[in-house]
Amino acid sequence: MKKIMITGALGQIGSELTVKLREIYGSNNVLATDIRKTESTVVNSGPFELLDVLEADRMYTLAKDFGADTMIHMAALLSATAEAKPLLAWNLNMGGLVNALETSRDLGLQLFSPSSIGAFGPSTPKQNTPQDTLQRPTTMYGVNKVAGELLCDYYFEKFGVDTRGVRFPGLISYDTPPGGGTTDYAVDIYYKALEQGKYTSYIKQGTYMDMMYMPDALQAIVDLMEADGSKLIHRNAFNVTAMSFEPEQIAVSIRKHIPNFELSYDVDPIRQAIADSWPNAIDASAAKDEWDFKAQYDLDTMTKDMLEKLSLKLNKND
Ligand code: AKB
């Protein structure tokens, strides 16, 4: 990775990834793009262009003019929004990916495109979910992710595009809030713990899902993209995870810092159904074996860092 173009750069992952990549590779070597423009570090700290990922010609021209050798394609609708707007999700998630693949094919770019634990479904083994297993998701997001994994494999096999990707779990960060995901409760809970001392979860007690702290997710992207391609067997869909917990466990972790924190429930049937169709805990051993994936943060170290960073952020905004 030397000249990198990012789509969806103002989203939850993109906004922190852009900053990290600019630190590693130099500000002028990372072109951030998004469908909107905001007063933000991403826009102000290096090159930025407006891009709707459905505009294939503009995507191609921007990548060509920038001299990109790498595309990191983050623009997508997340699981809950995709379930509410399935046709839009199909068009945007698949159309954007096809354009990213075609641009990468024409210009010889290396391409990162994220999959998700959403690529699994109710018939997938729930515990220690294997890397290679049944994938019959029942959500539009899951359908998009499985199709995306296969399409990326196809472009590698057929056209030699150096496609790479991981199945991300829920990602937790203090910088940019996620939007429209099923796992978003695990971010909201920290904001509400600091602001109100209590949180009402839309995910039911006892519902386990895989999660990861954002610094580990960003490092995973860099490590996979820098990995020796000849060692990658599962190049587009590596299971990665750092922890698996249910709402009560995150509450216990928060109470180590905010002893009176209260957790209650008002379950959202749509997001609960999505969560119920996903694994409880996936097996990330293929990522460890093939490119040395490892996560630094567990639930308690993440909670400590989240609460410290978030209180600084929230106090600053007072
Ligand atoms: C979501 O909940 O949609 C995402 C995911 C796990 O892919 N965070």
User: 93 CB less than 6 Å from ligand 1?
Assistant: no
pLDDT of residue 297: 98
What's the CATH superfamily of 4-169+214-239?
NAD(P)-binding Rossmann-like Domain (3.40.50.720)
pLDDT digits (tens, 9 = 90+) for 175-227: 988 889 999 999 999 999 999 999 999 999 999 999 999 999 999 999 999 99
User: In this predicted structure, what is the pLDDT of residue 316?
Assistant: 66
Q: Crossing angle, helix 247-255 and helix 299-316, to 10 degrees?
A: 70
CA of 107 to the centre of ligand 1 (A): 30
- Ligand 1 contact, 116 CB (< 6 A): yes
Q: Please report the pLDDT score of residue 178 as a whole number.
A: 81
Span from the CA of 38 to the centroid of ligand 1 (angstroms)? 24
Ligand 1, residue 116: give the atom nearest the CA: 7
Catalytic residue annotation: 141
Percent helix, strand, coil in the chain, to 5, is 50, 15, 35
Per-residue confidence (pLDDT) for residue 177, from 0 to 100: 85
**Considering the entire predicted model, what is its pTM?**
0.97
How many A from CA of 181 to the centre of ligand 1?
A: 5
Segment-wise mean pLDDT, segments of 10 residues, the chain, 318 residues: 95 96 97 96 96 98 98 96 97 98 98 98 98 97 98 98 98 90 96 97 98 98 97 95 98 98 97 97 98 98 97 78
Give kind and range of the element (H or E) at residue 279: none
| Measured distance CA(316)–CA(305) in Å, rounded | 17
- 149 token code pair: 């994994």
Q: Let me know if domain 170-211+242-280+297-313 sits in CATH 3.90.25.10.
A: yes
pLDDT at position 1 is 79
- Give the model's pLDDT for residue 28: 97
Q: Which of 12, 113, 116 to mutate to test the pocket of ligand 1 (most atoms within 8 A of CB)?
A: 116
What are the E-state strand segments in the chain? 4-7, 30-34, 48-50, 70-73, 110-112, 115-116, 127-129, 163-164, 166-168, 170-172, 198-201, 209-213, 238-239, 243-245, 262-265, 281-282
CB 291, CB 225: distance < 8 Å: no
3-class DSSP state of 228:
coil
| Residue of 85, 184, 245 best suited for mutating to test ligand 1, as the one with most atoms within 8 Å of CB | 184
Q: Which of 171, 214, 272 to mutate to test the pocket of ligand 1 (most atoms within 8 A of CB)?
A: 171
Asked whether this chain's domains 4-169+214-239 and 170-211+242-280+297-313 adopt the same fold, the reply is no
- Residue 179's pLDDT is 85
What is the Å distance from ligand 1's center to 41 Cα? Answer: 24
How far does the centroid of ligand 1 lie from the alpha carbon of residue 169, in Å? 6
Q: Supply the angle between the helices 56-66 and 95-107 in degrees, to the nearest 10.
A: 40
- In this structure, the residue with its CA closest to atom 7 of ligand 1 is 116
Whether 78 is in the pocket of ligand 1, judged by its Cβ within 6 Å, is yes
User: Where do the structural domains in the chain lie, given as residue ranges?
Assistant: 4-169+214-239, 170-211+242-280+297-313
C-alpha angle with apex 199: 197 to 201, nearest 5 degrees? Answer: 165
In ligand 1, which atom is closest to the CA atom of 278? 6
- The predicted-structure confidence for 171-182, as pLDDT tens digits, reads as follows 999 998 888 999
Residue-level pLDDT at 176: 86
Q: Give, using CA atoms, the residue closest to atom 8 of ligand 1.
A: 170
